[in-house]
Chains A and B, each alone.
Chain A
Amino acid sequence: MQAATLDRTFAALADPTRRAILARLASGPATVTELGQPFGLRQPTISKHLRILEEAGLIRQGKDAQRRPRELVVGGSLQDIDAWLRPFREQWERRFDNLEGHLATMTKRTTKKERP
């Protein structure tokens, strides 16, 4: 995955309004007007947010040419983030595997010494 794509995706997710837009689109496609209403945002402002989300590959324009609804891109950038997170996740999982092994030795010592 391109680092630039990842940066764009994180930047797109960094804004609470854009995250709310994504949450709304998770329940189905919506038009620009529908998306703007809950935030009381003017059309140019909401369009700017939508453009950033589109450029990050998180949403796209639906097929209806008249209403031009936006919809979530299934897979896509969010999946890229997950792939990128995997090494980090595995590192912490290994750390906790180590902890589990270490705790086993602690318990043994506790039993032996009859520690209170």
Chain B
Amino acid sequence: MIPPAATGTTIDHQTFTITFERTFVAPPEDVFDAWTQPAHLTRWWDPTGTPLASCRVDLRPGGAFEFVNQAHSPPFAGTYRVIERPARLEFDALGAAGTVSLTARDGATHMRVTIRCASAEHLAQFLQHGVDVGTAKTLDNLVAHLRAARAA
């Protein structure tokens, strides 16, 4: 297990689960909508900060979703399992089970994202998804984007 450093990421090699934790100064409803509405998803999903080329969301249990970036890498695609605005979202994607838990805390929202893979093989597959695309941009560019997003 990697210690939960400043990034708030832990990886459990025993259960093939990756957990991300973040706190946002925003209500849970906004965070939930950002995760589930194409107009919002397209603005933040791609790690490079580039808007998505297409974003299809059928927001109901069993409904499909597909996020395609500008580089047209293999899409992030899957099926929704549980939709409970604003507290919980569960989905299957790329052979992994994802959960997003949102908890209101002192006017902010604590977000816990887990990605659980059925096997080491699945974990390896899932982890490889889009990594090369994501690392193409430099950190400087990202910081510039975040400043722009905050100023907007």
Contact = CB atoms under 8 A, between A and B. Distances in A.
Interface of A: 6-7, 10-11, 13-14, 19, 22-23, 78, 81-82, 84-85, 87-107, 110
A11 B120 contact: yes
B11 A90 contact: no
B9 interface: yes
Counting chain B residues whose Cβ lies within 8 A of the other chain, the interface size class is 35 or more
A106 B11 contact: no
Interface of B: 2, 7, 9, 11, 13-14, 18, 20, 22, 24-27, 30-31, 33-34, 40, 43-49, 111, 113, 119-121, 123-124, 127-128, 130-132, 134-135, 142, 145-146, 149-150, 152
A102 B151 CA distance: 10
Contacts of A81: 13
26 contacts: A13-B13, A13-B120, A14-B119, A82-B2, A82-B11, A85-B127, A87-B135, A89-B11, A92-B18, A95-B44, A95-B45, A95-B46, A96-B22, A96-B111, A98-B44, A98-B45, A98-B149, A99-B22, A99-B44, A100-B146, A101-B145, A102-B43, A102-B149, A103-B30, A107-B27, A110-B27
Contact of A10 (B25, B124, B132): B124
Nearest to A95: B47
Nearest to A92: B20
A11 B111 CA distance: 32
Given A22-B14, A98-B47, A102-B40, 10 more contacts: A89-B7, A89-B18, A92-B47, A95-B45, A98-B46, A99-B31, A101-B146, A104-B149, A106-B30, A107-B27
A105 B113 CA distance: 22
Contacts of B13: 13, 78, 81
